[in-house]
Amino acid sequence: METLQFTKASFQDALKILNKKETKILNFLNSLGIYLFRKEKIFRNSVTKKGVENFLDGGTPSLFLSLKNMKKIPRLRGPTFTRNFLENPISKKSKIMFIGICFKKDLEQISSNFQIPLKNLFSYNKLPYIAPKMEYSRNDIEKLLKEIKSKKIRYCFVCVGNPRQEILSFELSKKIKETKFISVGAALDFILERKKEAPKIIRELYLEWFYRLITDFKYSKQKVWRSFIGLTYLIFGRVKIEVRG
């Protein structure tokens, strides 16, 4: 049985890890990620290779692992990391690309909100909608790689949804050494206020799944169901988990 490894880290720790030479990818996984790790080989391969760092995004898995290990295993959410990164001085002097639904007006808003030079912000929104498929075509990946290389992107935020973003980040990382890939899902939607993030009290009670159900039932119902299955895999040891740090 392969092991899904998580790294216990604060934002500052994660930032240091990101900028290590050997680190290529940061992922933020919750119970759905645990479900996919057991069910989908291509996803499992994408999150277990050298250079990939996984952080515990889910509140309920964080609570369970804290109780099991008798020590606090904090979560580090993708939206939280993204927001903190954009507020950090490192973002002011780096070329950053957002892969997903992101247009010029969105870059202008990010530039204004976080005081980042607009000339350093880029987006790529030409990837096709492929759900329920998980892999983008080789042609789509090559076109995206060309853009990343030509613009000399240092940090690439991949916002195309789990599990496509983790698989895409892994495929891209094999072709380019200089760029760091950060898979953050809906973080961009929250930052741009296209979607409403669960209130802080809901997040602290680990009830984000319930908030998603009542605010976006049609889109969230399958993900929430699979997340519950992923949680049972965790509780009953159907997925081997290791927490480092």
Q: What is the pLDDT of residue 69?
A: 87
| Band (123; pLDDT cuts 50, 70, 90) | very high
145-176, pLDDT tens digit by residue?
999 999 999 999 999 999 999 999 999 999 99
pLDDT of residue 185: 92
Residue 81 within a domain: yes
Does residue 50 lie in a domain region? yes
CB 232 within 8 A of CB 64: no
Collapsed DSSP state (helix, strand, coil) of residue 156? strand
- How far apart (Å, rounded) are the C-alpha atoms in residues 214 and 219? 11
Residue 225 lies in a domain: yes
SS3 category, 20: coil
Residue range 85-96, pLDDT digits in tens:
999 999 999 999
Given its phi and psi angles, is residue 103 left (phi above 0), alpha (psi -120 to 50 degrees) or beta?
Answer: beta
Q: Are 15 and 85 in contact (CB under 8 A)?
A: yes
The pair of structure tokens assigned to 33 is 């990620």
Q: Are 32 and 80 in contact (CB under 8 A)?
A: no
Please report the pLDDT score of residue 209 as a whole number: 87
Is 129 a member of any domain?
A: no
Q: Where in the sequence is the domain holding 99, given as residue range(s)? A: 3-124+136-244
- Give the residue from 38, 75, 37 showing the smallest Cα distance to 203: 75
**What pLDDT does 238 receive?**
96
Helices and strands counted in the chain (H then E): 12, 8
Residue 130 lies in a domain: no
Helices (H), 78-216: 78-87, 104-114, 138-150, 164-173, 187-191, 200-204, 208-215
Q: For residue 205, name the pLDDT band (cuts at 50, 70, 90).
A: confident
| Closest CA relative to residue 228, chosen from 210, 204, 205, 203 | 210
Backbone angles phi, psi at 12, to 5 degrees: -60, -40
Does 39 map to a domain?
yes
Q: Tell whether 90 is covered by a domain.
A: yes
Residue 131 lies in a domain: no
Which pLDDT value is given to residue 206? Answer: 87
Of 193, 123, 132, which is closest to residue 159 (Cα–Cα)? Answer: 123
Q: Is the pLDDT of residue 230 over 90?
A: yes
C-alpha–C-alpha distance, residues 100 and 191, integer Å: 13
Based on the structure, what is the number of domains in the chain?
1
The answer to whether 76 and 83 are in contact (CB under 8 A) is: no
